[in-house]
A and B are shown apart, each in its own frame.
Chain A
Amino acid sequence: GAVVSQHPSRVICKSGTSVKIECRSLDFQATTMFWYRQFPKKSLMLMATSNEGSKATYEQGVEKDKFLINHASLTLSTLTVTSAHPEDSSFYICSARVGLAVFTDTQYFGPGTRLTVL
């Protein structure tokens, strides 16, 4: 199946700093990538949908200035958590959709990034 990587897998930072998380599709081109946030023992919450070459579409309640998303190429999307605070600590997961069939193509997920803000 399609492989999606994330880097770093784990990051610890001080409050007030910014953290960048990379999501790469390794063996396919992803026109659309998605960013999720997962709280302990909870389901995935979609944060934003990222299309290559255009601005990301954020879900209601997600601060676009707080969570900057860039999808500069067909294989790379980045999520930057700006001025991170302890409440931003979470497990962040990206996914990429294979192909152009919006409704039937599968999303493949990265391994996730554990962010801890001290």
Chain B
Amino acid sequence: AQSVAQPEDQVNVAEGNPLTVKCTYSVSGNPYLFWYVQYPNRGLQFLLKYITGDNLVKGSYGFEAEFNKSQTSFHLKKPSALVSDSALYFCAVRDPMNRDDKIIFGKGTRLHILP
């Protein structure tokens, strides 16, 4: 069965510093991976996805993520954090070996950018 893990409940980063939000996954085949961001009392906003091709995926708001098959990871990164990046971040995975539409979400990582 597919699963996704976000090992950190919270990440604190000073404004202007690079940030990383970690995500690892487990699937039967080649994964389809997603990152979403959620602001308080709002739905999820799509940031980026990896389906195939270049391991480094660039997304919205300057975020990028690197797919690492050997480490089964898909960490979210940004070179220079902004206070406005403070939010809840979800990693999600879909296993193409499963014959359904479902994507599985991690438990989320709260990112605090300190001014």
Contact = CB atoms under 8 A, between A and B. Distances in A.
A49 B102 contact: yes
Interface residues of A, number: 25
B90 A43 contact: yes
Interface string B82-112: 0000000010001010001111011110000
Interface string B15-56: 000000000000000001010100001111110010100000
A93 interface: yes
Contacts of B96: 103
A18 interface: no
Contacts of A103: 32, 94, 96
B74 to A, nearest CB: 15
Nearest to A110: B43
B46 A108 contact: yes
Given A44-B90, A112-B41, A106 B101 contact: no
Closest 6 CB pairs of A and B: A109-B43, A109-B44, A111-B43, A43-B107, A112-B43, A43-B105
Interface of B: 32, 34, 36, 41-46, 49, 51, 90, 94, 96, 100-103, 105-108
